[in-house]
Chains A and B, each alone.
Chain A
Amino acid sequence: MRTVIKHGRIVDPANKLDKVADLFIENGSIAAIGKAPSGFKPDHTIDAKNRIVCPGLVDLSARLREPGQEYKATIASETFAAASAGITSICCPPDTSPVIDTSAVAELIHQRALQANKAKVYCLGALTSRLESKTLTSMHALKTAGCVGVSNGYAGIRDAAVLRRALEYAATCGLVVHLFCEDEGLRNEGVVHEGMMSVRLGLPGIPETAETVAVSRALLLIEQTGTKVHFCRISSARSLQLIAQAKQQGLPVTADVGITHLYLTEIDLAGFNSLCHVRPPLRTDRDRDELRKALATGTLDAICSDHQPHDEDAKASPFGLTQPGASTLDVLLSLSLQLVQDKTLDTQTVFAALTVNPARIAGINAGHLGQGTPADVSIIDPELVWKAEKESLTSAGKNCPFLGWEMTGKVTHTLLDGNLVYEYKNKK
């Protein structure tokens, strides 16, 4: 099958492209940009005038809740939500039930994703068995089963020797370690950032040092072991300084931020808004501003959704008893585009953080429009205005802290391996 996407503004940071041109797709791969390959007769033409045509987004962390919590969401429901939001590759953290610590679980997830055929799902294998931080998983087997990295999810690793060995072994297997940094002891019973809002609301606080102490410890072990580490969901300005310094030193580290942390702060907790109960906690205005800047300076490499769909009950309790996490697949792209519209960041930076950078971190052939690569493509109407409401979210999780926000920019078409997997239908 041959498809041509005509007159679109092609934005492809991997190839430093930002120009109006036609994109040609043949047999599921990118055939050419600009001039049609000789003898190219399209079966299908998409008019992308005044639209952005970019590589399908790569999301380094989205929980799909399957297996184990299908009452919250399923691989089918969430990959469809991803497709409708222009996301074509998803990394799924290992904290499913059962945990992704055997090839069987990874294979099950890949299988279900293939059946749904809306987005490509890549597993992050568990770093330790059952995420208990005691024994190592069979990382080589996990890699063979298709895992693109290893992670301990939210589970802390108290014993530094275990972390050291896990880093060394992951490096042996050639796997990147996706590390969420939070010192369990300093976090204690905390549920929100320790600061002016934790005082007001009387909610136990998580100090900034819960993150920085864990980042520092990891950096010293990375220095020692030489393991490639990806820092997940950085939330504080002070951590950014540590990571910037490490990058300058030449350590093999990368880092990402969740979209929620680029917008919301502790102030949004007012009135005990449990939709803003997220992990890591929302911190101060200054942290939020520094996180945005760090994307421009390259200290942060990627923006992810950190999507965590929940059922209604998960958020229907007094704040401290609610489950952390926000449903954000639907808003990742629109909120990212808003950063460009507000002139906070430039187009190339934002799209690189959503496409090529996360693809490189995951080590997958995606996130760019080079000739011969799988044709995972998103077409965006940057002017289309929509409102985030329970009814307008495609994800099964309606726990989105941006409900009621007006968004500008929406995906109109998503192609996966050259096949149309989503097309926007104007309901008006």
Chain B
Amino acid sequence: MTNSNSNIQLDKHGRLKHFLTIEGLDRNLLLDILNYAESFSGVGERAVKKVPLLRGKTIANLFFEPSTRTRTTFELAAKRLSADVLSLNITHSATKKGESLLDTLRTLEAMHCDMFVVRHADSGAAHFIAANVAPGISVINGGDGRHAHPTQAMLDMFTIRKHKGDFAPLRVAIVGDIMHSRVARSEIHALSILGANEIRVIGPRTLIPKDIQTLGVHVYHDLEKGLQDVDVVVMLRLQHERMCSALLPGESEYFNLYGLTEKRLSVAKPDVIVMHPGPINRGVEIDSQVADGKRSVILQQVSHGIAVRMAVMAMAMGNLSNLDIEDADADSH
């Protein structure tokens, strides 16, 4: 049994202990993540791509669900912090043999890991693990079911800030399968905590969850209306299996209604940026012209992912007090 959504994430001094969800965190903590990420963002461009912050620490990537992009960026982030990294694809081993999640945890604890990065197909899995691990271990949520993907949301915030500076005047539209998207949920919380002017979600009624307005968003079912005057567009990946479950008739109809094209983008602000958590489905939710066009920042998102994940890992391990700015901050801004 776990208590409130957010408390479990913070230690008794209010510092980040686990990073499970954006909901309930305060603005300053999110800004800290962005600022530390800024100071780490130069590390990858140096000849020696490492800082010694987590030397001697062991980080286990526990991926109960397949992922390439998130797992590799977490792995790189950990290595650039000089930690030892263990990547386990658990879908193919333990759970298949009937071992419970708790058994798996106990086994890994016995290996004296300091941090678990967890991706799991069930909402609440990261909370469950954080509530049950040995006291010294930090848990970072690498995506749980439809619930949360907080590091993805923070790297998107990082990307937005790079391009737009301040969040206050921004109108942001999140387009597509909101219902099944942990990225959408985490972004909505992050944008609202960082004070964005307006958050819109756009999609067919079948993919917009009931009561989403309670998160402080405006709902649009018409893409053109929803894109009017927005500064940022976040496109979500549409999974093929949605066609089979009577949520959508087919991909071409979806593209006709909600696919992002240059023409549709023309109603947005002239300096609009287009984001996508990847991997993209060209011709389903986004036209190649847009994905590869000058407004697209999709590839930048990936490289920002490493810096943001370095920041979150270092913060959760409490090792930023000895952050050597000279060493880490080779390239400021």
Contact = CB atoms under 8 A, between A and B. Distances in A.
Contacts of B212: 199
B100 A317 contact: yes
Given A271-B2, A273-B2, A200 B23 contact: yes
Interface stretch (A130-138, A294-302, A318-326): A318-326
Nearest to B185: A202
Contact of A202 (B4, B102, B128, B182): B182
Given A200-B23, A202-B123, A272-B124, A320 B145 contact: yes
Nearest to A271: B2
Contacts of A270: 3-5
A205 B1 contact: no
Interface stretch (A61-69, A148-156, A190-198, A255-263): A190-198
* 9 closest residue pairs by CB, A with B: A202-B147, A202-B146, A272-B124, A318-B125, A318-B122, A319-B124, A202-B123, A271-B2, A196-B214
Given A271-B4, A272-B127, A318-B144, A198 B209 contact: yes
Contacts of B146: 202-204
Nearest to A185: B246
Interface string A187-217: 0000000111011111111010000000000
Interface string B135-156: 0000000001111100000000
A271 B126 CA distance: 11
Given A194-B210, A271-B8, A318-B128, A200 B215 contact: yes
Contacts, number: 89
A315 to B, nearest CB: 8
B326 interface: no
A274 interface: yes
B100 A202 contact: no
A62 B44 CA distance: 61
A160 interface: no
A273 B120 CA distance: 18
Interface in A263-293: 270-275
Contacts of A317: 100-102, 122, 128
18 contacts: A195-B210, A198-B209, A198-B210, A200-B23, A202-B146, A205-B209, A207-B210, A270-B5, A272-B123, A272-B128, A273-B1, A274-B1, A275-B1, A317-B100, A317-B128, A318-B125, A319-B128, A321-B122
A275 B1 CA distance: 7
Nearest to A273: B1
A201 B182 CA distance: 9
B211 interface: yes
A272 B2 contact: yes
Contacts of B185: 199-200, 202
A200 B182 CA distance: 10
A318 B128 CA distance: 6
Contact of B100 (A205, A316, A403): A316
Interface string B39-73: 00000000000000000000000000000000000
A313 interface: yes
Contacts of B5: 200, 270-271
A103 B211 CA distance: 48
Contacts of A201: 123-124, 147
Given A271-B127, A272-B128, A273-B2, A320 B8 contact: no
Nearest to B210: A194
A196 B209 CA distance: 9
Nearest to B101: A317
A272 B102 CA distance: 16
A274 B125 CA distance: 12
Contacts of B127: 271-272, 318
B127 to A, nearest CB: 5
B132 to A, nearest CB: 8
Given A271-B4, A271-B127, A321-B122, A199 B210 contact: yes
A275 B3 CA distance: 12
Interface string A123-135: 0000000000000
A205 B147 CA distance: 13
Nearest to A189: B245
A203 B4 contact: no
Interface string B184-204: 010000000000000000000
Interface string B3-40: 11100100000000000000100000000000000000
Interface centre among B102, B120, B145, B185 (most CB of A within 10 A): B145
B272 to A, nearest CB: 27
A199 B215 contact: yes
B101 A199 contact: no
Contacts of A318: 101, 120, 122-125, 127-128, 144-145
Contacts of B123: 201-203, 272, 318-320
Interface in B94-113: 100-102
Contacts of A320: 122-124, 145
A273 B8 CA distance: 13
Contacts of A194: 209-211
A363 B145 CA distance: 46
A202 B148 contact: yes
A318 B145 CA distance: 10
A198 B147 CA distance: 9
Interface centre among A201, A205, A320 (most CB of B within 10 A): A201
A203 B147 contact: yes
Nearest to A320: B122
B8 to A, nearest CB: 7
A403 B3 CA distance: 13
A24 to B, nearest CB: 47
Nearest to B149: A202
Contacts of B214: 196, 199
